[in-house]
Structure 1
Amino acid sequence: MSYVDVFNGDADGICALHQLRLASPQKSQLVTGIKRDVSLLQKVQAGSGDEVNVLDISLDKNRDDLHRLLEAGARVRYFDHHYAGEIPQHAALETHIDTDANVCTSLLVSRYLDSAYLAWAVTAAFGDNLYSAAQQAAVPLDLSSEKSEQLKLLGTCLNYNGYGSSLDDLIYHPDALYRLLAPYSDPFSFIHEEPGYAKLQQAYHTDFDRVTAITPDYVDDGHALYVLPDARWARRVSGVYANQLAQQNPQRAHALLTNRPGGGYVVSVRAPMNNLKGADELCRQFETGGGRQAAAGINHLPTEDYDRFVAAFRVAF
């Protein structure tokens, strides 16, 4: 028997796996990648007697490989909050899928584990820009304002690390970042004791200072669209900056288009915080688009589709 843990390389995927493995320590093969590398099951080979955990990647984007693994005899446990489409019915498949806009995968795992590692789920919810959900989930923890802000920054930094066009853009490979977290059952111990976290914070603050100098290409009362340069720092910070803009201007939808090295754009979309829906539907109009109701993206928007995207963005929100 072998164990395989497949997880999105962002805060939610990492914290979801961390909770599961704190509850059930087990040596496993780790399969992950940059945040937008969501077709991860194609990298998995598993068969009869093997157990596969899948965390924070769309079932719809991995449907064929999920069927392949089930037919090969693997048992699969699936936690996610992205658009799933029709969920297969199979004796070897256990699903915990909820696409509500105020839920993230780590909160689903926390629910499954009876809140055993709730502070890590709160961290992930902050990282996924679900501030209200994070604060509501954190009530039993009775956090001070200072500790709440520490978890918010931690979640933001973990999420920031997942963005890039390749692993070379990232500060840490996501499996390496997970391994930094693995010894810590308490996120506050990680915050105060892990030297690698200071490195991640410094990079985040440096990149964030750069991006705040960029002005929008298009803005009105309900929309703002920014175009970022073809630079590693811009690719790293695009998603968390989109989250920050959404928090600062809750009545607006936001789109950040980052120039790709080979042409075209990588797109991050955030629905208005006061109406968390529509981002996934907008992005699925384009070939490489997907995501969830509140936050979605397009992996490659051709340059010639810029005007079509702007028009669709204005209509969607």
Structure 2
Amino acid sequence: METISPESPLASVKSQWPGKALFTENQTVRQDDLLKALALAPYWEDEHGVVYVLPDAPWGHRSSHCLNALLARLEPARANAVLRPKESGHYAAKIHASAEAPQGTRAKRWMIDPLPASELDHFIQAFSACHWGALRTPVFRAWQ
């Protein structure tokens, strides 16, 4: 590892770097964001899957990936989709297949961006019709 020369502009940045306090603050913000997301009721759910639609708020944007991953870990038998609104009036959708989806036959995760807001009900119909434990590919091609 290189040592930064005292004359280097990076030396002044490093001397002012808040270090661990910055990471602790970021971790606290992420935890708060995730707790807000988990407090939301699912937009749609059944025994095979769940869909969350996050609000157009900074914490909603920051927590979408973490919520998607956490749901996959907490409920591996259920597929999940986490949607967050975008400035364009569309959604960005992160989809995670259930652990029962066969390995090597298809992707376990999808991203649909943009998903037109007018297609939300159609997306949920397609999501709910997926046989997550079967060898067929989900019907998400319409938005890709």
TM-score by length of 2: 0.69
**Distance verdict in 2 for CA 1:231–1:257, change over 3 Å:** same
- Name the CA shift for 1:205/1:276 in 2 (closer, same or farther; >3 Å): farther
Equivalent AA in structure 2 for residue 235 of structure 1: H
Aligned pairs for 1:205-224 (under 5 A) are 205-224=31-50
Distance in 1 (alpha carbons) for counterparts of 2:100 and 2:22:
36
Query: Following TM superposition, by how much is the alpha carbon of 1:277 offset from its aligned partner in structure 2, in angstroms?
Result: 5.9
1:254 and 2:80 matched: yes
Q: In the TM superposition, what are the counterparts of 1:1-317 in structure 2 within 5 Å? A: 194-275=20-101, 293-316=107-130, 317=132
CA offsets, 1:57-78, max 9 Å, x none? xxxxxxxxxxxxxxxxxxxxxx
Distance 2:103 2:70 in 1: 17
Give 1:311 deviation, angstroms.
2.1
Give the drift of 1:276: 5.9
CA distance in 2, matches of 1:305, 1:257: 12
- CA 1:196–1:276: 2 relative to 1, 3 Å: farther
Question: Structure 1 residue 217: deviation in Å?
Answer: 1.4
User: How far apart in 1 are the matches of 2:127 and 2:33?
Assistant: 26
What CA deviation, in whole Å up to 9, does each residue of 1:281-305 have, x standing for no partner? 7xxxxxxxxxxx2222112100121
Q: 2 CA distance for matches of 1:203 and 1:297?
A: 25
Change in Cα spacing, 1:198 to 1:296, as seen in structure 2 (3 Å) is: same
Q: CA deviation at 1:208?
A: 1.1
Amino acid of the residue matched to residue 252 of structure 1?
A: R
Q: In 1, Cα distance between the equivalents of 2:121 and 2:53? A: 13
Q: Which amino acid aligns with 2:80?
A: H
Q: Would the alpha carbon gap of residues 239 and 207 (structure 1) be closer, same or farther in structure 2, given more than 3 Å must change?
A: same
- Output the CA distance in 2 between the equivalents of 1:315 and 1:219: 12
CA RMSD of aligned residues (A): 2.4
The one-letter code matched in structure 2 to 1:300 is P
1:271–1:277 Cα contact (<8 Å) kept: no
Cα 1:243–1:276 change in 2 (3 A) is farther
Change over 3 Å in CA distance of 1:257–1:277 after alignment to 2: farther
Higher relative contact order (CA 8 A, sep 6+): 2
Task: Give 2:114's aligned amino acid.
Answer: H
Distance 1:216 1:277, change over 3 A: farther
Distance in 2 separating the partners of 1:195 and 1:276: 43
Identity, % of aligned pairs?
28
Tell me by how many angstroms 1:195 deviates: 3.4
Amino acid at match of 2:112: I
CA distance in 2, matches of 1:314, 1:277: 21
Gaps of 5+ in 2: 3-13, 133-144
